[in-house]
């Protein structure tokens, strides 16, 4: 017997997901639905599926499933979209909310204009710099980068021109390199100025995406520790820009600010 599930498609900097309020529409086997619904042409089309629910330890909870069905620990862009979702759908009237994720509870600050959320700042927590310099060999070429955890793993590589990187080939191989037994997200970063970098990303479990919030944070942290930028910078991605600030000497927190956009609403049978 089929049932109708209402969903909202949203994006942050082009990183698009299908959002379902599972307190209203419980889903069985969301990993399978993520694969099916995320498919372009034959599905809704997205970078994955996000489940929104209540939480015992925060205001709301978030679960994220990638296009390959694997569950992600954290997504900064999805976090901002959830802030917009819960406020504009009337699930809360608070402008400061907490969100339970697999990488801990995150704090969201909503910027509201005319009852609409224009942008959201997320306290992404403290970065963990696992290896400042790691060199790996792929196809007889060496790639040197920084290994950083933002609640999920990242390998940040600085290049002269991100547009010349064979992201599909190199990103896929680095994601599954033996150095990363749990796989990793891969970011290629080009420094424009002390206040701006450009980044392209290969996401673990999803492949090439237009943006990655935790990846932008990792790119900013790597840029700062290598003294390539100031501690507040704009990260440009194919889908848009995010502002990242790392208060390294104070609370050691990374703050990410960016837009959240509703694309469309719909319903689908399961």
Catalytic residues: 75, 212
Beta-carbon count within 10 A of 3 CB:
9
Distance CA 237, CA 218 (A): 13
Q: Are 231 and 247 in contact (CB under 8 A)?
A: yes
Distance CA 169, CA 166 (A): 6
Three-state DSSP class for residue 23: coil
Burial of 144 (0-12, 13-18, 19+ CB in 10 A): exposed
Distance CA 196, CA 240 (A): 13
By DSSP bridging, strand 261-269 and strand 4-12 are antiparallel
Distance CA 173, CA 76 (A): 24
User: How many CA atoms are closer than 13 Å to the CA of 61, on its beta-carbon side?
Assistant: 11
Beta-carbon count within 10 A of 40 CB:
9
């Amino acid at each position: 017997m089929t049932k109708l599930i209402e969903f909202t498609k949203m994006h942050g900097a082009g990183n698009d997901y299908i959002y379902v309020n599972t307190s209203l529409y419980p889903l069985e086997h969301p990993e399978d639905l993520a694969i099916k619904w995320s498919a372009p042409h034959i599905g809704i089309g997205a970078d994955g599926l996000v489940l929104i629910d209540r939480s015992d330890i925060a205001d709301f909870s978030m679960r994220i499933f990638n296009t390959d069905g694997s569950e992600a620990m954290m997504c900064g862009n999805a976090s901002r979209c959830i802030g917009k979702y819960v406020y504009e759908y009337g699930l809360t009237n608070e402008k400061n909310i907490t969100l339970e994720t697999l990488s801990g509870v995150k704090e969201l600050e909503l910027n509201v204009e005319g009852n609409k959320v224009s942008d959201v700042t997320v306290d992404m927590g403290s970065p963990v710099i696992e290896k400042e310099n790691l060199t790996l060999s792929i196809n007889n070429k060496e790639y040197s980068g920084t290994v950083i955890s933002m609640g999920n793993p990242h390998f940040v590589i600085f290049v002269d021109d991100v547009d010349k990187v064979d992201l599909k080939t190199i990103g896929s191989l680095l994601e599954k390199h033996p150095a990363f037994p749990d796989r990793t997200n891969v970011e290629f970063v080009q420094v424009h100025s002390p206040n701006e970098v450009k980044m392209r990303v290969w996401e673990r479990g999803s492949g090439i995406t237009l943006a990655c919030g935790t990846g932008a944070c990792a790119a900013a942290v790597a840029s700062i520790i290598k003294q390539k930028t100031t501690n507040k910078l704009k990260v440009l991605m194919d889908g848009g820009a995010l502002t990242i600030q790392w208060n390294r000497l104070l609370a050691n927190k990374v703050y990410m600010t960016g837009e959240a956009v509703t694309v469309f609403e719909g319903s689908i049978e399961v």
